[in-house]
Amino acid sequence: MAGSRFGSFKSEKGDPAATAAQRRDPYEVLGVGRNATDQEIKSAFRRMALKYHPDKNGDDPVASDMFQEVTFSYNILSDPDKRRQYDTSGFEAIEADSQELELDLSSLNTVNTVFAALFSKLGVPIKTTVSATVLEEALNGSVMVSQLQLGNSVHRKVEKQSAHFYSVDITEKEAKMGLVCRVKSTDRSKFKLLYFELEENGGLSLALQEDSVKTGKVTSAGMYFLGFPVYRFEQNNLAAAAKDPDSAFFKRLDSFQPCDINELKPGTHFFAVYGDNFFRSVNYTIEVVCGESFPAEKEKLQSVEAKILTKRAELSKFETEYREVLAKFTEMTSRYTQEMQAIDNLLKERNEIHASYTNNSPLKRSSSRSKAKSPSKFSKGEEENSQRKEKRVKDQPTGGCRSADEDSNEKKTKERFPKKKWLNIPFKIDRRKPC
């Protein structure tokens, strides 16, 4: 969208101050005060998004720019951490915290849903909104609504970017005991569970929406109207968790926020299942039950959520302690490495000094040691000849006499007939004759 005011700063990686100067205050864009509640911000966004949505305004570039600006502003103010950063230091703080490309895919159509699916498979979380066409038809009262009985399950298939609407009638007693609506898909397809309020003109306006999440082998979403504050939980950004696991852990419960509606009044209520899958239809099962049949579950839910709130408060204190200990640990491990290296260097230097106490050069010392260990072959041979001579003298009989010819003949015989060994036993031939 060349030349669009929002597009000019949305994904640039230039000077942060220059791009921030072109942006409008998110509170101003949504028309809310700085002390606005989450519900007020959400209502303002819903109203303006429906007004400027491209599906409703065709090729109007002004409306398209406004819709992107409204979406960008809502992405900041709907995130507690980003809103706190913006309130403290403006856009620069948000850009310094994350230089990642911001993707506005809330106006997906049949063409760019392909890119959204690819980003989703790569692990990039993508927030989508309900098609403006569906919202406008609901607001005009031109949607088909099916009656749904309490306790009965309905299995259907909804096409992508389309919605099935249901109505449920509850009595005063059932309203007091609470109502729960749950949807699941065994295909693990993405969908949205929507709750609509009835307008005076007979139309339906979107009041709540829950995105499906993967739970085991299914995707599911639920809404709980039990007469006491029930909380909703959004999964944190996977990319941020991979970048800084510690921060992701301590911010894990920041998105644990109370639902906008805690209880329903007697009468007719409207739900819808929106096909949020990018390429194909969604098979789902929807069921609405009364809380009267689940007293133990209501009590457990209230108790567990209270513990989660306590844990969220504890995490803030624990993070401070953890950061201090982690900094000290990092300092100690760095010192440990330095001390180990210093000791190794000193010991090496000491050994070199010890080795230097000698008058011989290292080459001469090595040569002398080699000579001492390896005597010459000549010396060894002389020693063996001497041993053989001594043995012959010992073997000669005392008092015997031999001529020189006999000695010569014996020598020749030994040369012609060398000693024979059998099983390492020497055999001697004694050819000596008495005188």
Is 104 inside a domain boundary? Answer: yes
Which residue range is the domain that position 160 belongs to?
132-227+263-292
Model confidence at 71, pLDDT cuts 50, 70, 90, reads: confident
Is 405 inside a domain boundary? Answer: no
Q: Are residues 152 and 240 in the same domain?
A: no
Residue 19 pLDDT > 90: no
Alpha-carbon distance of 377 to 294, in angstroms, equals: 101
73-105, pLDDT tens digit by residue?
888 898 888 888 888 888 877 765 544 434 444
**Token pair of 236 as six digits:** 């944190």
**Token pair of 131 as six digits:** 């098609």
Model confidence at 390, pLDDT cuts 50, 70, 90, reads: low
Q: How far is CA 329 from the centre of its chain?
A: 24
Upper half-sphere CA count for residue 18 (Cβ side, 13 Å): 6
Q: Are residues 78 and 161 in the same domain?
A: no
Q: Are residues 150 and 277 in the same domain?
A: yes
| 8 Å CB contact between 435 and 400 | yes
Total number of domains in the chain: 3
Is 330 inside a domain boundary? Answer: yes
Is 111 inside a domain boundary? Answer: yes
| 8 Å CB contact between 77 and 83 | yes
Please state which of the ranges 218-227, 236-245, 296-305 shows the lowest mean pLDDT. Answer: 236-245
Q: Are residues 91 and 182 in the same domain?
A: no
Domain CATH number, residue 70 = 1.10.287.110
Residue 146 pLDDT > 60: yes
Q: Are residues 47 and 62 in the same domain?
A: yes
Residue 419 pLDDT > 70: no
- Bridge partners (DSSP) of residue 156 are 284
Model confidence at 11, pLDDT cuts 50, 70, 90, reads: very low
Measured CA to CA in angstroms, residue 198 lies from 39, 203, 322, 426 at distances of: 18, 6, 49, 120
Model confidence at 160, pLDDT cuts 50, 70, 90, reads: confident
* Position with higher pLDDT, 146 vs 427: 146
Q: Are residues 77 and 160 in the same domain?
A: no
Alpha-carbon distance of 24 to 78, in angstroms, equals: 16
Domain CATH number, residue 207 = 2.60.120.380
Model confidence at 119, pLDDT cuts 50, 70, 90, reads: very low
Nearest 5°: the CA angle 376, 378, 379 is 70
Average pLDDT rounded to a whole number, residues 209-214: 89
Residue 270 pLDDT > 90: yes
Q: Are residues 332 and 304 in the same domain?
A: yes
Residue 298 pLDDT > 60: yes
Is 21 inside a domain boundary? Answer: no
Alpha-carbon distance of 18 to 21, in angstroms, equals: 5
Please state which of the ranges 182-191, 229-238, 257-266, 332-341 shows the lowest mean pLDDT. Answer: 229-238
pLDDT at residue 57 in the model: 73
Q: Are residues 221 and 123 in the same domain?
A: no
Average pLDDT rounded to a whole number, residues 412-429: 54
pLDDT at residue 385 in the model: 65
Q: What residues contact 238, with CB distance under 8 A and at least 6 apart? A: 123, 124, 125
pLDDT at residue 392 in the model: 61
Q: Are residues 137 and 286 in the same domain?
A: yes
Is 190 inside a domain boundary? Answer: yes
Q: Are residues 101 and 147 in the same domain?
A: no
Alpha-carbon distance of 20 to 15, in angstroms, equals: 9
Average pLDDT rounded to a whole number, residues 218-226: 92
Last residue of a domain, one of 107, 128, 149: 128
- Bridge partners (DSSP) of residue 169 are 268
**Token pair of 280 as six digits:** 């194909």
Last residue of a domain, one of 109, 128, 147: 128
Is 212 inside a domain boundary? Answer: yes
Backbone angles phi, psi at 388, to 5 degrees: -65, -40
Q: Count CB neighbours of 132 within 10 A.
A: 20
Is 352 inside a domain boundary? Answer: no
Q: Are residues 276 and 221 in the same domain?
A: yes
Q: Are residues 117 and 165 in the same domain?
A: no
pLDDT at residue 285 in the model: 94
pLDDT at residue 37 in the model: 86
Largest separation between any pair of C-alpha atoms in the chain: 153
The closest of 83, 92, 81, 122 to 236, measured between CA atoms, is 81
Residue 363 pLDDT > 70: no
